[in-house]
């Protein structure tokens, strides 16, 4: 039976840990001279409704590293759900490729692709969540601390798709998760309920506040994201006013653990949600985190349809 990668919550804690361990192995293998051709002869179709730097390049290079190939399909080539129905696109592509990765606006589109395609479907980002980013995040934290169990992971800013997946992966792996968001920009209640259900099994503590100082107290990880995401440009002025003060700066870091690491999924709007001093400072993991997209996604690809 085929398996998809649509949400962190779809996988058990043991499966998430297995993916992390495989990512570590594949990263070391690559650094030691190259990966084995786990996906030799396999092709990944990459559907993009949104432009991308990290998602496109990391998936393309991930397939190359493990002996496969990737086919980029730009927003104008398909018109997902517009020029052609999602169900028809899924059934056409499954006859050409071995797996599909989709970076979409509407989460329902990637779910519908998975329902109709008989090949694995990977969520490269949707308006609801960003599970591939969360796996790279978890890998980065895992490499730094050796485990996520009992760590304090704090998110500062919008309760968006990145925050949803970070909350779920933290809960799955036993980390305590806190988030500080302005009123009206909190996490979706359905995503919070899922996290609470996970935390009840793993012992994670979840904290939802509006005060950033409360959220980052004793944090081992401080994570932030842009105040205005792609597709929210009309809300720019309103959001910038609401998020004023939700900035990760040197002063905020003094309230966290002395060994705190700072993370951001990028692109960053420097001077808004994060300062240059922090983004380029000694606590920053922004670029190792971005590079880990490659290795975390290799693990997902190999597990979903690899020979190894």
pLDDT tens for residues 264-308?
A: 999 999 999 999 999 999 999 999 999 999 999 999 999 999 864
**Active-site residue flag, 303:** no
Look up the CATH number of the domain holding residue 88.
Answer: 3.40.50.1370
Q: Are 98 and 179 found together in one domain?
A: no
Q: Are 120 and 164 found together in one domain?
A: no
Choosing from 54, 56, 65, 103, the catalytic residue is 103
Q: Are 165 and 249 found together in one domain?
A: yes
Q: Are 31 and 164 found together in one domain?
A: no
Q: How many domains does the chain have?
A: 2
Tell whether 77 is covered by a domain: yes
pLDDT tens for residues 166-215?
A: 999 999 999 999 999 999 999 999 999 999 999 999 999 999 999 999 99
**Active-site residue flag, 269:** no
Choosing from 130, 168, 239, 283, the catalytic residue is 130
Q: Are 180 and 87 found together in one domain?
A: no
Scanning the structure block, which residue is given the tokens 């002063």? Answer: 251
Choosing from 56, 239, 265, 297, the catalytic residue is 265
**Active-site residue flag, 3:** no
Q: What is the pLDDT of residue 81?
A: 75
Q: What is the pLDDT of residue 308?
A: 47
Q: Are 264 and 283 found together in one domain?
A: yes
Q: Are 179 and 261 found together in one domain?
A: yes
Q: Are 142 and 243 found together in one domain?
A: yes
Give the domain extent around 143.
133-289
pTM above 0.95, yes or no: yes
Tell whether 3 is covered by a domain: no
Choosing from 49, 133, 247, 297, the catalytic residue is 133
**Active-site residue flag, 265:** yes
Tell whether 140 is covered by a domain: yes
């Amino acid at each position: 039976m085929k398996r998809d990668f649509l949400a962190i919550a779809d996988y058990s804690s043991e499966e998430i840990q297995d993916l992390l361990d495989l990512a570590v192995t594949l990263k070391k293998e690559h650094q030691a001279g190259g990966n084995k051709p786990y996906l030799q002869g396999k092709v990944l179709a990459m559907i993009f409704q949104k432009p991308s730097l990290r998602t496109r390049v990391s998936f393309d290079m991930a397939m190359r590293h493990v002996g496969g190939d990737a086919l980029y399909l730009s927003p104008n080539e398909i018109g997902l759900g517009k020029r052609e129905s999602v169900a028809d696109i899924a059934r056409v592509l499954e006859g050409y490729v071995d797996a599909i990765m989709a970076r979409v606006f509407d989460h329902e589109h990637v779910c519908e692709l998975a329902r109709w395609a008989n090949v694995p479907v990977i969520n490269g980002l949707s308006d609801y969540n960003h599970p591939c980013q969360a796996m790279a995040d978890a890998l980065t934290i895992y490499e730094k601390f050796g485990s996520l169990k009992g760590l304090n992971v704090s998110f500062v800013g919008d309760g968006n798709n990145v925050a949803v997946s970070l909350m779920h992966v933290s809960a799955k792996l036993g980390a305590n998760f806190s988030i500080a968001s302005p009123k009206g920009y909190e996490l979706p209640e359905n995503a919070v309920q899922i996290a609470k259900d996970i935390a009840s099994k793993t012992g994670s503590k979840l904290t939802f506040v509006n005060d950033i100082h409360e959220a980052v107290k004793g944090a081992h990880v401080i994570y932030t994201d842009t105040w205005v995401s792609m597709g929210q440009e009309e809300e720019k002025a309103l959001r910038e006013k609401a998020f004023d003060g939700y900035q990760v700066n040197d002063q905020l870091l003094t309230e966290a653990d002395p060994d705190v690491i700072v993370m951001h999924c990028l692109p960053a709007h420097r001077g808004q949600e994060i300062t240059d001093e922090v983004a380029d400072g000694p606590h920053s993991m922004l670029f190792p985190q971005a590079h880990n997209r490659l290795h975390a996604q290799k693990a997902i690809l190999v597990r979903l349809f690899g020979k190894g």
